Amino acid sequence: MIKQFLAILLLFISPIIGFSQADEDSYVYGDTPETKPDSEKSGKFDWDRVTVGGGLGATFGDLTYFEIAPAVGYYITDNILAGVGGTYIYYSDNVYKYKTNIYGGTIFTEYLFKDLPILAHAETNLMNYFSRNRQARINAVGVFLGGGLKQQLGDGRSYLSILVLWDINETQDSFYPNPIIRGGISIGL
């Protein structure tokens, strides 16, 4: 199953890599030359390419779960967004008498397909939590690959998303079970 998933993901990613390596000076007869913003030409930092957002989650009852996950991203190109984020989760299971505070960080990248409501997502995260099995706090590293749907909000740099991700580094210590379904927001400044 994982091999099939990785093969399908590779089929989607290989055109992205190929397009990203296209020669900037290439010209096809009949094309109109595109003008780039001054920040892209000079390589200077541009606040218009920064996004803020993240996600919230909550569930209450015998299982109480509250999550806050802020993120900051930067558009490297018009289609590639890279960024960092943090996560805090309060988790309480009244049936098994288990409570823990979970925290961690993430590094992510997204490829937003132009004129299509889909995106590809890759992420590496580190979560620190108290493991009932080991009776100690542990660090769990996750490597998530997947994609999802996006809904543009106003300008071209803001959107809502829903993602389906797969942890290709899943172990007994992994905090998130496969598949991971996540919703979020990204707002351009």
Element (H, E) at 108: strand 98-112
Q: Which residue has the higher pLDDT, 14 or 118?
A: 118
Domain of residue 140 covers 46-188
What integer pLDDT is reported at residue 71 of this predicted model?
94
Enter the tokens of residue 8. 């399908």
Residue 111 has a CB neighbour count (10 Å cut-off) of: 21
Q: Given a cut of 70, is residue 14 above it in pLDDT? A: no
CATH number at residue 82: 2.40.160
Residue 12 lies in a domain: no
Q: What value does the mean pLDDT take over residues 9-33?
A: 46
Q: Given a cut of 90, is residue 108 above it in pLDDT? A: yes
Banded pLDDT at 90 (limits 50, 70, 90): very high
Asked which of 15-24, 27-36, 77-86 is least confident by mean pLDDT, the reply is 15-24
Residue 107 lies in a domain: yes
Q: What is the number of domains present in the chain?
A: 1
What integer pLDDT is reported at residue 34 of this predicted model?
54
What integer pLDDT is reported at residue 17 of this predicted model?
42
Is the pTM higher than 0.85? The answer reads no
What integer pLDDT is reported at residue 185 of this predicted model?
87
Q: What value does the mean pLDDT take over residues 129-158?
A: 86
Does 117 sit behind a cis peptide bond, omega within 30 degrees of 0 on the bond before it?
Answer: no
Rounded distance between C-alpha atoms, residue 48 and residue 74, angstroms: 9
Q: Which residue has the higher pLDDT, 144 or 59?
A: 144
Residue 28 lies in a domain: no
Interstrand relation of 159-167 and 50-59 (parallel, antiparallel or unpaired): unpaired
pLDDT tens across 58-78, in order? 888 888 889 999 999 999 998
Ordered alpha helix ranges (H), 29-133: 38-42
Phi first, then psi, for residue 21 (nearest 5°) are -100, 10
